[in-house]
Amino acid sequence: MCGRFAMTTDPAKLAEKIKAIDEATGSDAAQTAPNYNVAPTTTIATVVRRHDEPEDEPTRRVRLMRWGLIPPWVKPGPDGAPDSKGPQLINARADKVTSSPAFRASAKSKRCLVPMDGFFEWHANREPGKKARKTPYFIYREDGEPLFMAGLWSVWKPAEDAPPLLTCSIITTDAVGELARIHDRMPLVVAESDWDRWLDPDAPPDRKLLETPPDVRGIRMRQISTLVNNVRNNGPELIEPAEPQPEQPTLL
């Protein structure tokens, strides 16, 4: 699964880097500030491809969304907010996105990328007769560039004339390489050469991309401090090595 990650790149700089339209700048500064401990329900930067006009070429856009997909058929609660019953849809299994009632409509034409500096995962260290102690790891690109994860998004409104709430989910797949020793799932990494194909709003989801193990060459992981366990902690110390390690393992 993917339940926590770090993203510190300014959306405007991200848009410039990937040649996208910046639709995030001008929002609440707190929503676009560097975040070393992104948790579910946080507003995050995503990348989509959309049309301005029905027949024009879709363009990349950096757009803010709340992490935790809300299908459009969810009813509003008494306070007008989405009914919160049931699990948060922060992740979607790659093998079920086209069949799951919660995700299949989004899979058809509302696919996104979720950029991140890296993501966190916890390894349960089981000792006989003791409660499992979990060790946190940070998984990141060795060259310092962001990772781009496959995602789905949706538009939710409490009423027809209400402003839309955009929400998203990160797609996960079977873990590969060294990471499989820590957890059996990982976010689905999308290579740059596949971005536009994945984001194409006029084409069905690429089944090959969903079914193929992600390429994790150049991706590393390191043990980090348990400070990340508390979502109130948010700073660069969260992604620093827990102790000096002469050689970081790769995921292959």
Contact indicator for 109, 41 with CB cutoff of 8 Å: no
Closest by CA position to 167, among listed 118, 105, 120, 119: 105
Phi, psi dihedral angles at 21 (to 5 degrees): -80, 130
Determine whether 121 is an active site residue. Answer: yes
DSSP state of 185: E
As a whole number of angstroms, the distance between CA 15 and CA 26 comes to: 14
As a whole number of angstroms, the distance between CA 216 and CA 96 comes to: 22
Contact indicator for 121, 179 with CB cutoff of 8 Å: yes
Catalytic residue among 2, 112, 168, 178: 2
Closest by CA position to 36, among listed 10, 6, 9: 6
- Measure Cα distances from 9 to 34, 133, 207 in Å: 7, 32, 30
Q: How far is CA 15 from the centre of its chain?
A: 17
Under 8 Å CB-to-CB from 220, ≥6 apart: which residues?
139, 140, 141, 142, 248, 249, 250, 251
Catalytic residue among 23, 55, 121, 145: 121
Closest by CA position to 149, among listed 186, 181, 188: 188
Determine whether 178 is an active site residue. Answer: no
Contact indicator for 91, 172 with CB cutoff of 8 Å: yes
Residue 192 structure tokens:
């740059």
Active centre residues (catalytic): 2, 121
